[in-house]
Amino acid sequence: MSIFLVLFFMGLVQGLTEFLPVSSSGHLVLISKLFNMEESLFLSILLHVATLFSIVVVFWRDIWELIRHPFSKKTVMLMVATIPTCLIVLVLMPIIKSSFGGALLPFCFLISALLLFATEFLTKKKTTHELNYKTAFIMGIAQGFAVFPGISRSGTTICAGILAGGDKKESAKFSFLMSIPIIILSMVMEIYEICQGSVTINYPVIAIIASFLVAFLSGIFAIKFMMKLTEKGNLKWFSLYLLIIGIVTFFII
C-alpha cells in the first residue's frame, strides 16, 4: 500500500476512534504493526492537532463560555478532572511508554469491551443527575488509566460519568471537553521530545495534508455521532467490535 493511502487511512482511523469508544491509540499501534511503520512523533502531533480542531469546531460555544468565565463551575470541574489524570500518567509513565510496544493491546481492547457492556447493562434503570465535582473527579481518574493503547479514552470517561450517575448526554459532552487539556499536554510532551533530537519528516506534503484533513473531518462526524448514540445508550455494538478486535489482536501482536 502506498504511503499516501496509509496516511489517509491513519487520519481516518484517528479522527473516528479518538471520539468513538474504541481507542485511537490502540488502533494506531495496531496499524503501525500491520504496515511495519516506525513511530512518528511528527505524525502523532499532526493528528492530535486535527482532532483538537474537531472538538473546537463542534463545541466552540461551550469553549467560548469557558474562556469568558474562567472560574465557572464547568471550568473548575475540568481542572478537577485534569489533575488526577496528570498524576496517574506521571506515576505510570514507564509502564505507559512500554505499553505502546503492543504487548498489552489485546487485553486493553477486551477491558474496554467489558466496560462498555457493563455500563449499558448496569445503568438501564439508573437515575441520573447533573454532573458535579465528584463525577468530574471520577472521570478524571478514568481518563488517567485510559492512556494505555486499547483502553478507549472517550469510552472509559463516558462510562465513568454514567456509572457515577451523571446524565448520559452531559457525560459525553464533558468527556470531549476534558480531552482538550490532555491533548494539549500530550502535544507539548511530544514537541519537547522532538526538540531533544533531530526531526526528520519522510512523508510527502500532500499525504500529510490529506491525513490532517481526513482526521479533522472524520473527527467532527465521530463527535456528533457519539453524542447522539450516547444519549440513546446503545454501546453494545462497540463492545462486540472491541471483543472481536481484541481476540484478533492476540494473533497479530
Q: 155-178, pLDDT tens digit by residue?
A: 999 999 999 989 888 999 999 999
Residue 43 confidence (pLDDT) above 60: yes
The whole-angstrom separation of Cα 38 and Cα 32 is 7
Q: What is the pLDDT of residue 101?
A: 83
Rounded-to-integer distance, Cα 184 and Cα 101, Å:
23
% of the chain exceeding 70 in pLDDT:
93
Asked if 135 and 166 count as a contact pair (C-beta separation under 8 A), the reply is yes
Q: Are 243 and 103 in contact (CB under 8 A)?
A: no
pLDDT at site 229: 85
Cβ burial of 140 (10 Å; 0-12, 13-18, 19+) is buried
Look at residue 231 in the predicted model and tell me its pLDDT. Answer: 74
Kindly report the average pLDDT of the chain as a whole number: 88
pLDDT, one tens digit per residue, over 219-249 is 999 999 998 888 776 778 899 999 999 999 9
Q: Rounded to whole angstroms, how far apart are CA atoms 104 and 236?
A: 23
Confidence (pLDDT) at 39? 63
Amino acid 164: pLDDT = 92
Contact between 76 and 132 (Cβ < 8 Å): no
Q: How is residue 41 written as a grid cell?
A: 512523533
Instruction: Give mean pLDDT, residues 63-91.
Output: 94
Rounded CA separation 138/161 (Å): 7
Per-residue cell: 172: 459525553
What's residue 179's pLDDT? Answer: 92
| CA atoms of 24 and 21, how far apart (whole Å) | 9
pLDDT at 31: 85
Q: 104: which DSSP letter?
A: T
Q: Residue 139's Cα: distance from chain center in Å?
A: 13
pTM (predicted TM-score): 0.89
Residue predicted with more confidence, 79 or 204: 79
pLDDT at 90 over 80: yes
Among the listed residues 219, 226, 229, 135, the one whose alpha carbon sits nearest the alpha carbon of residue 183: 219
- Phi, psi dihedrals of residue 22, rounded to the nearest 5°: -130, 0
The stretch 123-139 carries a mean pLDDT of 84
